[in-house]
Every structure is written in C-alpha cells, then in structure tokens.
Amino acid sequence: MSVLIIIFLTAVIALFAGVFEQGKFSRYIGILGLMIAFYVSFLPEISFFSQYQHMFEFGANAALFTKIAIVITILLFFLGGFSFSNHRNHQSELYALMLFSLCGGIILFGFQNLVTLFLGVEILSIPLYVLAGSNKTDLRSNEASIKYFLMGAFATGFLLFGVALIYGSSGSFDLYKIHEFAVVNPKNLMFILGAVLMLVALAFKVSLAPFHMWSPDVYQGSPSLITAFMMSVVKIASFFAFFKLMTIGFLGITGEWINIIGVLIIITLFLANVMGLAQTNVKRMLAYSSVSHVGYLSLIFYGMNSLSSYNLAFYLFAYSLATVGVMMCLIWVEKLKRETSYTAFNGLAHTEPILAVAATVSLLSMAGIPLTAGFMGKFSIFAQAIDQAPFLVLVAVLGSAISIAYYLRLIMAMFFPKESSFKTSERVSLTYNIVAVFIIFALVTMGVFPDLFAKQFGL
Amino acid sequence: MSYLLLTLLLLPLIGSVLVFAWKNPASKYLALGIAFAQMLLTFYMLTGFDFKPTVDGVLQYEINYPWSNYIKSNLHFGIDGMSMLMLLLTNILTPLIILSSFNEKPGYRNTFYGLILLMQFGLIGVFTSLDGLLFYIFWEVTLIPIWLIAGIWGQEDKKIQFTTRFFVYTFVGSLFMLIGLIYVYNHSASFTLTDLYNADLTSGAQTVIFWFIFFAFAVKLPIFPFHSWQPDTYTYSPTQGSMLLSGIMLKMAVYGLLRWLLPITPEPILGISGQIVLVLAIIGVVHGALIAIIQNDSKRLIAYSSLSHVGLMTAGIMASAILTVKGTLMIEGGEGALIQSFAHGINVVGLFYCADILYKRFKTRDIRQMGGLARVAPKFAVLFMVILLGSIALPLTNGFVGEFILIKSIFDYSIIAAVIAGTTMIFSSVYLFRFYAKAMFGEGDEEVLASAGDLTGVEFSVLASLVVFVIFLGIFPQPILDMVNSSLKFIFTSMMN
C-alpha cells in the first residue's frame, strides 16, 4: 500500500513538474520515485495500511509482482526521451500517465475484492487509451487509441455483468468469500455464468485469442515506448489479476472453466504464431509474439502447485525484460529509419553491436533457447503442465517451433548482411547501452542461475 | 582431480570471450593456442584415465554441485570411456579445424574463432554432462554458434534460406526431446542420469518418449526421412562449418542415442519401434550412397556419403540393442558405432578439407570441371588418397574397424539386413573413386593447373595430422575398443532390466 502511495505521489509531482519545463524533470522524478518505491517494496508493510477493509492485501505474491513491474517501468523510463519524437511538448503528462497506469497495476496485484479488481482494471486501462493515441499527428496512433478504448469498453461491460452475476449468486464481492461459495456450490448456474463472463473480460485484457484482435493494431499504432509498456507492465498486471481471480476466486469450479482456457490456448498459439510468421513489420510481429506468449503463460492453469505463482512471475519477468530488449532496439531503428520493417534492421549489429546483442539475447529468450531466462520460464511451465495436459504442451511446443522462424528472421537481418545500412555518425546514447547491458546480464543470469531470482524475491 | 574436467569445460568458454573481445587479426593465434592447450589437457587426462575399471560404467573426474533446488538439477559432469572418446574427437579436431581456416581472410575473423570455441564449449558439455537438463542445455548451446557460422560466412546467395531451415529443423527436434525429458523427469526423483534411468514409466509412455527423444537425434544425425536439411546446409556452410557439423556435431546424436535414449526407454526397442528405426537407418545407408554416386558437387557428395555412414552406425546400435533387450548382452553395435564415430569424424573432416583445397584450386565445386591435379600436386594426391581409403573402409585404415564391427552386429540380428547395409562399402568406393578420378586424373585446364601448386604449409600440416590418425587407428584400434568397453557394458546391461 505504501508503494502504491509513493508511486501515486510521484505521478502527481511529475505531472506538476510539467508546468515548469517540457518533460525533462518529470522523467527523472519518475525514475527517482520508482526507485524509492522499489526500495520500500522490500520493507515490511506499515501497520497503518495493512488493514484495508479486506479490499486490498499486499502479500508476498503481490510484492513480488510489484517489484517486477517497477523494475520494468524504470527501464522504460530510462529509454524515454526521444521516443516520443513527434511532439516534444507535453511529455510530462505521458510519464505521469504511465505512472498512474502502474498504480492500477499495483492495485491489481493486491486486489482482494471484485470492486478493487474493477478499479484496478480501469485505472490501468484509462491512461493507456490516452497514451496509445499520444502521437496525435499519426493516424495509426489515433486508430489505436479509439480501437483500444472501444475494446476496453466492451471488456468492462463483460466484467461488470460478470461481477453482478457473481454478487447476485454468492452475495459478496470478497474474493475469499466467493471462493468459499464456489467450493460449497459448484453447480450454481448463475455463478458459473458470471465466472465465464469475467473470464472473457480478462481474456480481452490479456489478449487471449480470439479476444486478441485489437492488440496487433493497437500495439503497432501506439508510440513504441508505450507499446513496450503495454506488452510488459500491463501484461504482467492483467495476467496476474486473471491468474489470481481464476485460481483463488473460481478454484471450486475449475472443471467448468479449465476447458474453455484449453480451447483458447490452442486457438491463441496457432493463430498468433502463424500470423506472426506472415508479418513483414517487426512491430506487428512482436505484437503477435506477445499474444502467443499469453498462450504459453495460460498453461500455468494446468497442474497447479505451490510453485505456480513463482513460475508465473519468472516467466512474466523474463518475457518483459526480453520485450524491453527488443523494443529498445526497435525504438532506435524507428527513430533513424522512420519505419520498422525487417529490412530496416539490416546490418544493425555492425554499427550498434551492444544493442543488437541485447535484442538477439531477448529474441532467443522469447524463443526459449537455453541459458536465457525465457528457457527456464518455458521449462518450468511446461514441466508443471505436462502431466495434466500433455496435448496442450505439445501444441505449445509446435507453437514455439513456428515462432522460432520469425524471431530468427530479425536476428538474421541484424547480423547476416555484410554491410550496415546505418550511418556511423549517429550513435545510440550511453543510457541505451547501459540498459542493453543490464538486459543481457539479467536474462543470462536468470537463465544460468534460476535460484538466484528465487532468493532475490524471498522464495 | 575434478579440477581438470572443470578446466577442460571452462577454458573454451573463457577463450571464446577473450577472442570475441580482441578485435585483432592475431586473435586467430590465441584461438588456436587455446584449442591446442585443450588438446594437450585431454591427452593429460587420458594418462590418468582408468581404461579397465573394476565396476562397469564408473565415472571418473566427476564434478557434482547442486545447481537449482527449484528444478532439482545438478551441475553434474563426469567422464567414462565413451565420453573420453568423444572428448578426444572434439579436442583433436577443433585445433585442426581452426588451423584449416588460417589461409582465409573474410571479415570479422575474431567472431568466427570465438564462435568455434563457443561451439567446443557446448560439445564438451554435451559429452560430459550427467544431468538431463544440462545435456539439453548444452545440446542447444552448440546450435547457436554453428548457425551463426553458417549464416554469416555461408555462401552468399542461398544462406538465409538454408540456415533458417537448418535451425528450425534442429530446434523442433530438440523441443521434442525436451518434452520427452521433462516427462521422464516428472516421474523420477531428479534430472540425474541414474534417476532418469530408473524413472517409473508405463510401456505406452515409454514408446511416446522414445519417439520424442529419438526425433531430436534423428534430425541431428540425420536418419533417412529427417535428413532434407543436411545436404544443403553442409554444402552452403563455410568449410569449417561443414567440418564442425559432420565431424563432431552429429556424433552428439550417436552419443545421445547410447547414453540417453536407449537406457531410459528400453521397452519400445523390443516392440515395433526398434525395428522401424533399424529399417529407416538401413534405408538411409543405401539411399545416401546411391544419391552420392550421381552427385557432381563435391561437398554435396560428401554430405550424402556422411548420411550413408551415419545410417550404418544407427543400424548397428539398434541391432545390438534389440538383441540385448531380448536377453543376450551384445555390445558390438555400440563399440562399432563409437569407433566409427571417431573414424568418421577424422575422415569427413579430411574429405571436406580436400574438397575445400580443390575448390581453391579450381574455383568450382563441380567435379566434372576438375582434372589432372595429381600431376602438379603429388603431396596432396597422396594425402587425399589415404583419407579416401579410410573413408572407403579399406583394411588397415580407421574406417575398416568400425564398419566391420557394425556389419557384424547387424549380421547377428539379421543376415538380410547385413547384406543390404554392407553395400555401403561397395557404393562408397564407387562414389569416392569417381570423385578422386575426376579431380586428380585426366585432362585438366592447363592454365589452372599451372597456377594451382601443391599444398601450402597450413594445408599440409592439417591433412598430414589427419592421415596419422587414419593409419594409426587402422593398425592399432584396440585402445579405443578397451576404452568404450566398460561404459557400453553398463549401458547395455541397464537396458536388460
């Protein structure tokens, strides 16, 4: 709770700092505030905040995911600066909105009540509708904004109707009371219908196919930094909310929804990977790849055990780091070339080796090649699910097999041409190189010493 | 003692980082020095190695540290005779492969040598790890450097298409193996080798796992219907890439078959699965040899010949395994496959290097456009001939010992199969002599021949070192047979239970 307050205050200060200058301060204020919040998240909760009417609990899992989300947001803030190149004015609002969105995410990490869930989802999403459209002169950005808003509104409708049905049948908004109700009455039709509606709403939010159709357009149209934020922090928050709701609230009726998720996983993995293969634009490819990762992640619902939430955290952190690693490369290429097709990346490794290696390690991590974090993430999720759902794991393996082809295409574009298509006069800033080295280091360390991450987060 | 193995494992990794960092043409000497030190270290380890341990399959130079409690996996490395043989192969060939590229001058050389050393690190890991997850990890680690070598230095016009296909093929195979290993792991106490051997698996599950894991090895070897990536990749990779792939990397699969697949899933060998594999392998033997006969591209010819030889190794292993599971302990197939792995590694590296030398002289890989080189390059003609004879399996060369034992082990299982598989010896002399005759004898373009010249110092030293091994092992194969005997006994005995 104290972390949430710190980030909220940081956002307000960053917003007001924009009155005095054009966005430089707010970025540093944001980084400073996030770092303080990161530090505070390791401290025990102040007792004044610990009881909050059973609306919000900041337990071990919530703390773990909060730390991950904060680390990723800090990295993204370091990458800020020229990435909103179309409009150098009014940048502080954008940083503030990202922080507000992160607040929504933290509420989702700690929700214990369907009202808090709803609040979290909305606080997470509404700033994003604005952020997606923040490239005001770009038609695609406007399209992204309106598309995201309409889909978000739909999802909210489903979510609220679901909440209403759940409340109608169980008589409570409290997650644990709902859990008790579901265990006692596993055949209550109104309750099951509510659960399915909420599942659909959250499938929209995490973009599980066939509820994913907004995401490629939105991810492509938004400014790249915002896309990275949506693919990483927003995905962490919404997926964790999804996970918590299904595995705590609706645990008693698992049999009713687990098959729906199984079908969604198959559609997602097949559709996203095949569509990803067909893309010529890297940003759009990454969007489909992001959808496919939700498919792999959803295997977490199979063969649940005490380590599941840790496996989820590991996978999400690995995936988010990798996303930042590729997106920073893309931001740089987009700035120089004004486009993001595969050919735009030709020979990047010769002029920006560190950036290219970071992107390569990230892509290999996404593909699940050993000695990277992504491999450990995929491994633990597959190992958990294989006994209960061998067929789905097989589908996931085939999905990974398809996905490797489009990840390789980007690596090949960066490394294989003999000549670089970039001017050597334009070099990337030191900050970018530092973030790149951090990402390489983090991904490899997590891949080589998987236990280190566990100790770091108190597991 | 275990520090020796640790050094052996880490030296190429540290070396590759140093070579990557040192952007200087002289970095090739550093790479060669490290690979050479690696070879000496392996020989030193051989002196302290117990060839006839009292307990079968006992591990020497063992390292065992806990790695991850979360995954119940250990950093567990060790060497038995089989691993030692593979380490010798890797560490003898790597310095020669590095040396063989010294005359070439394309860009980014330090990256090239760094990648070769990284590859060596992966290979040593594969051949020494005794933990399922580590095995898988090193198995994949070898893939990235070879892919980059093929992709960056491959033949310009077609490299993207073929390197992608190569990577996707092998990656898909590996993923299936991972799933198989995970399933076994979920039914055993940990990823340790012996725990995986003793995993509690039903007969049906064993069959599925057998095929999943076999798929990875079948792609890497490659076995008949999974080989379509191989000729193209061997052809369009740079010579050193082809050498690494065919000389060392495919031996990972032979090794994996013996160490990981057969003892973990012995039941399907007895059923139809074992026979299917045997039949596929024999089809590969004949198929590869027949296609090699009509090839005019020198590297392609060697690629198909490799396909044929590998088929024979697999057939030998499977024949002995089937007999063993039925109740009579037979290790000949394993012995033959291992000694043939070593011999084939030496021979195929030599053949690829000869093809490369021919390419440098004639500026083409089409053997119909070559001719007459023996007149101007007598040293080359002799060395090439010896390597060729080793490949054909002439008695008193290294190839003969392995092929003889392999065909004998197939004979024990089925005479018809042995007769069909034995045709490899006839066919290989057909295609290799055709290759030799076209390139070395007959009329040649006088202008080309005048400027061709005999072997350079680097070329001579590489080929001569290989020839020493060809002859030495042909005359004196017993040490290798002794070396692998006890580990094979252990592996085949654990299949019987």
pLDDT single digits (tens) A319-354: 999 999 999 999 989 888 888 899 999 888 888 889
The predicted structure's pLDDT at residue A326 = 94
Q: A371 and B164: CB-CB below 8 Å?
A: no
What is the per-residue pLDDT for A88? 59
Using CA atoms, how far apart are residues B222 and B352, in angstroms rounded to an integer?
Answer: 18
d(CA A233, CA A321): 10
- Give the least confident one: A169-183, A415-429, B160-174: A415-429
Residue A151 C-alpha, separation from nearest chain B C-alpha, in angstroms:
36
Would you call B182 and A379 a contact, using CB atoms and an 8 Å cutoff? yes
Q: Answer whether residue B108 shows pLDDT above 80.
A: no
Burial class (CB in 10 A: 0-12, 13-18, 19+), A20: exposed
pLDDT of residue B189: 80
Share of chain B above pLDDT 90, in %: 48
pLDDT value of position B107: 62
Cross-chain CB nearest to A415 (options B136, B152, B168) = B152
Query: Considering only residues 377 to 406 of chain A, which have any Cβ-Cβ distance to chain B shorter than 8 Å?
Result: 379-380, 382-383, 386-387, 390, 393-394, 397, 400-401, 404-405
How far, in whole angstroms, is CA A181 from its chain's centroid?
Answer: 31
Residue A50's pLDDT is 60
Task: Give the confidence band of A84 by pLDDT, cuts at 50, 70, 90.
Answer: low
pLDDT of residue B342: 93
Decide if A4 contacts A57 (C-beta within 8 A): no
Residue of A378, A406, A451 best to disrupt the B interface, most CBs of B under 10 A: A451
Which residues neighbour A21 within 8 Å (Cβ) at sequence distance 6 or greater?
A92
What contacts A266, CB < 8 A, 6 or more positions away?
A: A392, A395
What residue of B is the nearest CA neighbor of A417?
B152
Give B297-347 pLDDT, tens digit per residue. Answer: 999 999 999 999 999 999 999 999 999 988 888 888 999 999 999 999 999
Looking at the complex, does the CB of residue B185 fall below 8 Å from at least one CB of chain A?
A: yes
pLDDT at residue A83 tops 60: no
A341 DSSP β-pair partners: A281
Q: Which helix (H) or strand (E) holds B294?
A: none
Q: What is the 3-state secondary structure (H, E, C) of chain A?
A: CHHHHHHHHHHHHHHHHCCCCCCHHHHHHHHHHHHHHHHHCCCCCCHHHHCCCCCECCCHHHHHHHHHHHHHHHHHHHHCCHHHCCCCCCHHHHHHHHHHHHHHHHHHHCECEHHHHHHHHHHHHHHHHHHHCCCCCCHHHHHHHHHHHHHHHHHHHHHHHHHHHHHHHHCCCEHHHHHHHHHHCCCCHHHHHHHHHHHHHHHHHHCCCCCCCCHHHHHHHCCHHHHHHHHHHHHHHHHHHHHHHHHHHCHHHHHHHHHHHHHHHHHHHHHHHHHHHHCCEHHHHHHHHHHHHHHHHHHHHCCCCCCHHHHHHHHHHHHHHHHHHHHHHHHHHHHHHCCCEHHHHCCHHHHCHHHHHHHHHHHHHHHCCCCCHHHHHHHHHHHHHCCCCHHHHHHHHHHHHHHHHHHHHHHHHHHCCCCCCCCCCCCCCHHHHHHHHHHHHHHHHHHHCHHHHHHHCCC
Region of poorest pLDDT, from A47-51, A310-314, B381-385, B468-472: A47-51
Closest residue in chain B to residue A405, using alpha carbons only: B168
The terminus-to-terminus CA distance of chain A in angstroms comes to 21
Residues in chain B within 8 Å Cβ distance of A376: 71
Region A271-288: mean pLDDT is: 93
Q: Which residue has the tokens 């909103």?
A: A84
Q: Identify which of A32, A18, A166 has the alpha carbon closest to the alpha carbon of residue A91.
A: A18
Q: Report CB contact under 8 Å: B144, A418.
A: no
Nearest CA to A79 out of A222, A226, A221 is that of A226
Query: Closest Cα to residue B439, out of B447, A134, B147, B431?
Result: B431
For residue B376, name the pLDDT band (cuts at 50, 70, 90): confident
Average pLDDT over residues B35-60: 87
pLDDT at A391: 92
- Which of A160-164, A322-326, B145-149, B150-154 bottoms out in mean pLDDT, i.e. has the lowest? B150-154
B194 has pLDDT over 80: yes
pLDDT at position A48 is 66
- Confidence bin at A456 (pLDDT 50/70/90): low
Mutation target vs B (from A381, A386, A395; most B CBs, 10 A cutoff): A386
Contacts of A408 in chain B (CB under 8 A): 164, 167-168
* CB contact burial B390-401 (16+ within 10 A = b; e otherwise): bbbbbeebbbbb
B205 inside 8 A of chain A by CB: no
What b/e string do you get for B473-489 counting C-beta neighbours within 10 Å, with b at 16 or more?
bbeebeebbebbbbbbb
Closest CB from A390, A408, A415 relative to B164: A408
What value does the mean pLDDT of chain A take? 89
Q: B136 at the A interface (CB within 8 A)?
A: yes
With contact defined as beta carbons under 8 Å apart, do B273 and B281 qualify? no
Query: Average pLDDT in the A147-166 region?
Result: 93
Residues of B with Cβ-Cβ distance to A401 under 8 angstroms:
168, 171-172, 175
CB contact under 8 A, A450 and B141: no
Task: Kindly state the percentage of chain A with pLDDT values over 90.
Answer: 61
Band of residue A82 on the pLDDT scale cut at 50, 70, 90? low
Q: pLDDT value at position A87?
A: 56
* B337-367 b/e (C-beta count within 10 Å ≥ 16 → b): bbbbbbbbbbbbbbbbbbbbbbbebbeebeb
Distance CA B457, CA B248 (A): 25
B171 touches chain A (CB under 8 A): yes
Residue A312 in contact with residue A240, Cβ under 8 Å?
yes
Give the pLDDT confidence score for residue B24 in this predicted structure: 80
B497: contact with A, CB 8 A cutoff: no
Among A366, A239, A345, CA closest to A283: A345
pLDDT at B497 exceeding the cut of 80: no
| Secondary element (H or E) of residue B167 | helix B159-186
**CB distance A415–B151 less than 8 Å?**
yes
pLDDT in the model for residue B350 = 94
ω into B222 cis (within 30 of 0)? yes
pLDDT confidence of residue A239: 95
Q: Do A405 and B185 touch (CB under 8 A)?
A: no
User: Distance between CA A226 and CA A323 in Å, rounded?
Assistant: 12
* Nearest-CB residue to B179 (from A310, A382, A409): A382
Peptide bond before B225: cis, by omega within 30 degrees of 0? no
Cα-atom radius of gyration of chain B, to the nearest Å?
21
**Least confident span in A357-366, B338-347, B367-376, B426-435:** B367-376
Q: Is the CB of B141 less than 8 angstroms away from the CB of A371?
A: yes
Instruction: For residue B140, give the nearest of A369, A394, A415 by CB distance.
Output: A369
Mutation site, A307, A348, A357, A369, interface B, largest B CB count within 10 A: A369
Interchain CB contact of A450 with B (< 8 Å): yes
Q: Which of the four pLDDT bands, split at 50, 70 and 90, describes residue B152?
A: confident
Say whether pLDDT at B125 is over 60.
Answer: yes
What is the rounded distance in angstroms from the CA atom of residue B217 to the CA atom of residue B213?
7
pLDDT at A373 over 70: yes
Considering chain B, what percentage of its residues have pLDDT values greater than 70? 99
Distance, CA of B84 to CA of B439 (rounded, Å): 37
Q: Between residues B132 and A52, which one has the greater pLDDT?
A: B132
Measured between beta carbons, the chain A residues lying within 8 angstroms of B160 are: 412, 416
- Give the pLDDT mean for B115-141: 93
Contact A422, A336 (CB under 8 A): yes
Tokens read off for B246: 């065919």
* Interatomic CA distance for residues A351 and A432, integer angstroms: 14
* Mean pLDDT taken over chain B: 89
pLDDT at position A244: 93
The answer to whether the CB atoms of A383 and B152 lie below 8 A apart is no
pLDDT of residue A429: 84
* pLDDT at A417 (0 to 100): 82
Give B102's DSSP letter: T
A230 closest CA partner among A203, A207, A264? A207
- Model confidence band, residue A427 (pLDDT cutoffs 50, 70, 90): confident
User: Helix A430-448 crosses helix A373-385 at what angle (to 10 degrees)?
Assistant: 40
Mean pLDDT of B414-427: 90
Q: Give me B382's structure tokens.
A: 């002799």
* A408 part of contact set with chain B, CB < 8 Å: yes
Q: How far is B241 from chain A (nearest CA, A)?
A: 15
Q: How far is the CA of A262 from the CAs of A252, A303, B211, in angstroms?
A: 18, 13, 25
| Residue B60, phi then psi, degrees to nearest 5 | -115, 160
Residue A306: pLDDT above 60? yes
8 Å CB contact of A382 and B164 = no
Buried b (16+ CB within 10 A) or exposed e, A309-319: bbbbbbbbbbb
- Cα nearest neighbour of A381 on chain B: B182
**B207: its two tokens:** 């069959």
Quick one: B426 exposed, middle or buried, by C-beta within 10 A (0-12, 13-18, 19+)? exposed
Instruction: Closest CB to B151: pick one of A400, A412, A450.
Output: A412
CA torsion A403→A406→A410→A416, rounded to 10°? Answer: 110
Q: Phi and psi for B117 in degrees, rounded to 5?
A: -65, -35
Residue B419, both tokens? 């007769």
If you average pLDDT over residues A284-290, what whole number do you get? 94
- Looking at per-residue pLDDT, the higher value among B73 and A424 belongs to B73
Chain A residue whose CA is closest to B134: A370
Q: Give the mean model confidence (pLDDT) for residues A234-250.
A: 93
> A49 falls in which pLDDT band (50, 70, 90)?
low
A437 touches chain B (CB under 8 A): no
For the residues B118-129, what does the mean pLDDT come to? Answer: 93
**pTM of the model as a whole:** 0.91
